[in-house]
Amino acid sequence: MDQELLMKQIVEQVMAAMKNGTPASAPAAASSCGSKVTAANYPLAESMADQIKTPTGKDFTSLSYEKVINGELSADDMRIAPETLEMQAQVAESVHREAFAGNLRRAAELIAVPDDRLLEIYNALRPYRSTKQELLDIAGELDGKYGAKTAASLVREAAEVYEKRGRLKKF
């Protein structure tokens, strides 16, 4: 299969998935309409497409395969926005999926963290990979540099649990 055809199929699958209910844009959208997003708004890409924006500010409805191929859209244009994840979290809460809503909100916090740094943090959180101080430093970075307070709290909790269970890096 040639590369262009494969690329077209991948982009079409992603676009179809997005139109069939993947996340959309939120605090701004929810607050602009003055109400919470609920399951009645799902899938967001159908019911609220005009309120969904990419992190770069492009309208969801302006995304297309042709624009990707022509270079009019970048990878950043195709990423999910924190507001989208917030809207999805509100939908989850409306159907009593609070834990899932929390996961979506933590994901929204982590959007600001570069992908390569996220992978480093993920590896650092594996048992025996980090000292307690290294984990606390990561928590401080998440909190101070990226404003990811919930994620920072989880890393601090991991540092405490790893210490109690003997899962910290040994010298």
- Six-digit token string for 128: 């025996």
**Residue 119 pLDDT level (bands cut at 50, 70, 90):** very high
What is the band of 27 on the pLDDT scale with cuts at 50, 70, 90?
Answer: very low
Tokens of 70: 């022509």
Q: Measured between alpha carbons, how far is 4 from 156 in angstroms, rounded to an integer? A: 46
* Confidence at residue 82, expressed as pLDDT on a 0 to 100 scale: 94
Sequence ranges of the domains in the chain: 36-110, 112-170
**Tell me: the pLDDT tens digits for 40-59?**
989 898 889 889 999 899 99
Q: Under a CB-based contact definition with an 8 Å cutoff, are residues 60 and 18 in contact?
A: yes
DSSP 25: -
Greater model confidence, 13 or 120: 120
How remote is the C-alpha of 149 from its chain's centroid?
A: 15
Which tokens belong to 112? Answer: 């600001």
User: Can you tell me the mean pLDDT for 148-158?
Assistant: 96
CATH number listed for the domain at residues 112-170: 1.10.1510.20
Q: What is the pLDDT of residues 90-116, one digit of tens each?
A: 999 999 999 999 999 999 999 999 999
